[in-house]
A = this chain, B = another copy of it.
């Protein structure tokens, strides 16, 4: 099943990006982790590593958008808490070894196409969160600026907690974000 092998390689790339960063996500590591045969890399990603990375952040981006469907119609505080819990889970499940694959690509790529894709993902998350807040009755301007703040602060808090290998900074930031939810 070629599509299954492709999916496994992409999943492995997402995990490796989140744990080791862009250059720590080599084809050889992806093959080892996914159990895919060597030839399959060139079959599925003929344009090379950037094509795999592109597919990986696409999956990570879409997955986050998809799980946000769960808070459609929820209160503003419930939306904030849910988004924060997604990140909290990444930290806890990985024992503080993983973070955001899209951030990892942003801070290490020199490809304009990958950067453009990264910003499209961040913008899609921001727009989706802003829409959810607006649907919950928040003023559109406030919803938009809080959505940006929520993403920025979560991303930064995940980094602080990875460094510290502790939930302390993340939970401190999360408490402030919940308190300041419009």
Within the assembled complex, what's the spacing in Å between the Cα atoms of A24 and B109? 9
**CB of A118, distance to nearest CB on chain B (Å):** 4
Q: Which of A127-182 contact B (CB under 8 A)?
A: 144-146, 148-149, 151-157, 159-160, 162-165, 169, 172-173, 175-176, 180
List, in ascending order, chain B residues with CB within 8 A of A118's CB. Answer: 163
Contact B159–A155 (Cβ < 8 Å)? yes
Q: Is the CB of A103 within 8 A of B108?
A: no
Q: How many residues of A contact B (CB 8 A)?
A: 43
Which residue from chain B places its CB closest to the CB of A153 in the assembled complex? Answer: B153
Residues of A at the B interface (CB closer than 8 Å) are 20-24, 99, 102-104, 106-108, 110, 115, 118-119, 122-123, 126, 144-146, 148-149, 151-157, 159-160, 162-165, 169, 172-173, 175-176, 180
7 further A-B pairs in the complex, CB-CB below 8 A; given A122-B160, A122-B164: A106-B162, A107-B159, A115-B165, A126-B169, A148-B172, A155-B159, A156-B159
